[in-house]
Amino acid sequence: MDATSSPHQIPPAMVLYAEKHRIFELMQALMEALLIYRPADPVDFLIGHLQKEGDEVPRVLVLGAPASGKTTISRWICKHLRTTYLCPQDLTHDRKLKKSREALSCLSQQGAIPDELWVTLLEERLAAEDCVTLGWVLDGFPETRNQALLLQEKGILPRHVIVLYAPDTVLVERNLGKLLDPFTREVYHATFDWPVDFMVQRRLVVPEGISEQATAGRLLESHRHIPGILQAYPGNHKAINADQPCVDVFAQALSFVQSRPLSKAPFLPRVLLLGPPGSGKRLQAALLAQKYGVVNLHLGDLLREKVADPGPLGELIKPSLETGYPVSDNVVLRVLKDRLNQQDCLSRGWVLHGFPRDVDQAALMKHTGFEPNRVFFLNLPTEVALQRICQRATDPVSGERYHSTFKPPTDSEVNQRLRQNPRDRPSRVEVKVDLYHQQARELEGFYEEEGIPLNADQDPYTIFEHLESCLVKPLPVSGR
């Protein structure tokens, strides 16, 4: 597209298709693959790349100082996500890998395996079917910045990098009690993680290099290299304090691994705010419009605007507004479609409240091609809704609105002349709240993918923070 001709008239159907199928991310992944592998025949390479599965599978590095719990967390993540566990030491004993013998030879003759050979071993292992289709979690590698850069040169790019840290005194104490099952390579601890199986207890051995002096040396090496490694992964790593129960560490690590990074795809907010009367939809819509520049749309305001403008559509709506009867869905959809097709909504996005009220209206809106990409359900108990609405009153002289609990008038004269809107009477509010709750469950089912429940019984700015965080972050990946 010609940038000088913006704002562009992009059809809503195109935007929906691109977001649903993640076209931007797909194109980005293809371009990255071309730049990394630089194939001689780009077309055949791209066809083969598209035919591969595994673009969404986990690719995780778990790093940290000795005894920080890397192995435990790595194995728990693999068990939970059903992905492949990889440990560098296991690669040298894997006879399926062509370079494993060479690696063992280097280890026995030189006492160390060159970085290039480590990365070659890993590259071969990651090409296996289980790693491609299920993903992988790599435990304790890379150990240096040079190894991290070599991984990048080979196109081995993790989605998430977890870094575990804890005070050195804690790590030394942990390491001194470490025990190893030589058969399964599972790591246990004499104090914190003693095995239940008696046979496992009998075959436990003390690993090499866990004396206090050796641990202190390894800790110094880790502290020296970790900053350089993280410079290679500036945008996708998370540091987690490992000096807490393993369950808490795992919960934070799993939440991070299951999160999706912020997409660079153009994102046009199309937001629905649903909730009972008094849940704060109008305030949250105003806050969104103020901060993000989206168009704030309320169905009642749109209908009143049509009545104010002379025209056949306004004449159709006027009797319904005067009598209090609902406007027919077909007329409402015409008004809504006309407004959403205007340039400001197409170029800036929108936040809509007051519609839809039931699944039939939601289906009609979807049929018009205007689908929301975020739907927030502002949940509020009935008694709180009654407290918020039924205690409202207006000063007929100044037009100022008051609330007997949250914003009472300080002047007694003002207090005496306050008037309540008939619509705010408890009997009428209860009917509206009950009607919403009757439709809410079906609406939640209709918007199952886009729907996000929020507790509206709290400070409005706290609600906005939650709403905002869900708006700017991608929706979570559904379970595999």
- Residue-wise pLDDT for 107-162, tens only, equals 888 778 899 999 999 999 988 888 888 899 999 999 999 999 999 888 888 989 99
Please choose, from the candidates 326, 384, 374, the residue with its C-alpha nearest in 3D space to the C-alpha of residue 353: 374
Q: Report the first-to-last Cα separation within the chain, whole angstroms.
A: 37
3, pLDDT greater than 70: no
Q: Residue 6's pLDDT band (boundaries 50, 70, 90)?
A: low
Q: What six digits make up the tokens of 390?
A: 């039924």
Quote the pTM value.
Answer: 0.60
| Cα dihedral 221, 224, 229, 234 sign | positive
Radius of gyration of the chain (CA): 30
More confident residue, 11 or 347: 347
More confident residue, 296 or 451: 296
pLDDT at 42: 87
Per-chain mean pLDDT for the chain: 85
Q: What six digits make up the tokens of 441?
A: 């469950």
469, pLDDT greater than 90: no
Percent of the chain residues topping a pLDDT of 70? 93
- Residue-wise pLDDT for 332-391, tens only, equals 999 999 999 888 888 888 999 999 999 999 999 988 888 898 999 999 998 998 888 888
54, pLDDT greater than 80: no
10, pLDDT greater than 70: no
